[in-house]
Structure 1
Amino acid sequence: MGKLIGYARVSTKRQSTDRQQADLLAAGIRVDDLYIDHGISGARASRPQFDLALNALIAGDTLVITTLDRLGRSTQNMLNFAQELNKRGAGLRVLNLGGGDVDTSTPMGSMLFTIMAALAQMEHDIKSERVTDSIDKRREAGKDLGGRPRRITDSQIHNAVRLVESGEPAAQVARDLGMSRATFYRRAQTLTPQNPVQNTQKDQPTPPHG
């Protein structure tokens, strides 16, 4: 019978692997066969202890992790990794995948692993799409996107006014500054009250006053 090789990981040094270690030891892994990466992101291609754990695996052995995200962030990479282990004659066991213990060395476990990984990727894509959609809607509504606002200096406004006076479209100049055209006009008029920037574009509305 093959050996169980355990792997635990946390992304920052402030986090603890105690819970992961306890679960792995309870699953029958010996302390000498437990590999732990501290402060290592799952997005990194090289993880020192993870690499050692893989080197320790031989045909018949099983790599054991607590959750699927200990392997990394990309679902496709996770699937490729599981397939690579299978080619080497080793298995992958996830203690908590879909609420249960899944071992890819079994046909049912392999199928469930593929399904759960695909669902995880789909959930990630949906969340990303929602975030992007929310940002687009807030931009269209002219709302603040959060975070520290970009500070546009008076010097930048003066330079932008010169660009408009030389024939550059005011809308493009304002966009390059990261502000609306109306805001640009207000700033320009505040800085040059005697000679406010004029809207020379026929398709643009008269700049707001006050």
Structure 2
Amino acid sequence: MAQLGYARVSTRDQDPTRQHDDLAAVGCDRVWTDAGVSGTTTSRPQLDALLDYARDGDTIVVTELSRLGRTVRQLVVLVDDLGARGIGVRSLTQAIDTTPGQGGGIGTLLLSLFAALAQLEREVLVDRTMSDLAAARARGRVGGRPTVLPPDKLAAAHALLAAGTPKTEVAAALGVSRSTVYRAIERERVAMTAGVR
């Protein structure tokens, strides 16, 4: 039953010494450190090595939960996977410990509550965004990046294509990429099919 420390800094300029000191102070037997690795990065070599090394009864200790992952969903999935292997997770800053026999049930409950709140926040954000987009469309506004091919250039593209000019040459003549011409024509076709101009 070992306490295994994990430290992570996002850039190579940052110093993980404080994390190492805090992990050593609580009695971590060994510390794995990822340097220059963002929390959103899926591949964290030292964390992967730690996860391979950890055994049933061990506890992975971090100074704060954000060292293990940037999103609550990442954390919950990781903690669930570790819990199924009999491995606990302890955060020093948040005072959460999922280790069986060390208040593990309460720690897991807290993480689950965080996950539920994060999910609710995501759903509210999506609903709000969709409502705002619908209101904008009702006022005749369409979101997104403005088209690179305004109506006059699109009309010129149609005229050149109707004359048999290859799309690559049409794009060069208009000063845009060939994919821009394809997208503009496709967007116009979809809009016409939907009855919108």
- TM tier, smaller: 0.5 to 0.7
**Alignment pair present for 1:79 and 2:90:** no
TM-score using structure 2 length? 0.60
Contact 1:8 1:70 in 2 (8 A): yes
Question: After the TM superposition, which residues 43-192 of structure 1 pair with which residues of structure 2 at under 5 Å, given as runs?
Answer: 43-72=40-69, 75-96=72-93, 100-105=94-99, 106-142=104-140, 149-152=146-149, 154-160=152-158, 176=187
Contact 1:36 1:50 in 2 (8 A): yes
Larger radius of gyration: 1
Q: Counterpart of 2:8? A: 9
Give the number of aligned pairs. Answer: 167
Q: Counterpart of 1:34? A: 31
- 1:48 CA displacement: 0.5
Report which of the two has the higher share of helix.
Answer: 2
Which aligned runs of 4 or more in structure 1 are off by greater than 6 angstroms? none
Percent identity over the alignment? 35
SS at match of 1:46: coil
Distance 2:128 2:105 in 1: 35
Contact 2:72 2:114 in 1 (8 A): no
TM-score using structure 1 length? 0.57
Assess, with a 3 A threshold, how the Cα gap between structure 1 residues 151 and 23 changes in structure 2: closer, same or farther. farther
Amino acid of the residue matched to residue 115 of structure 1?
L
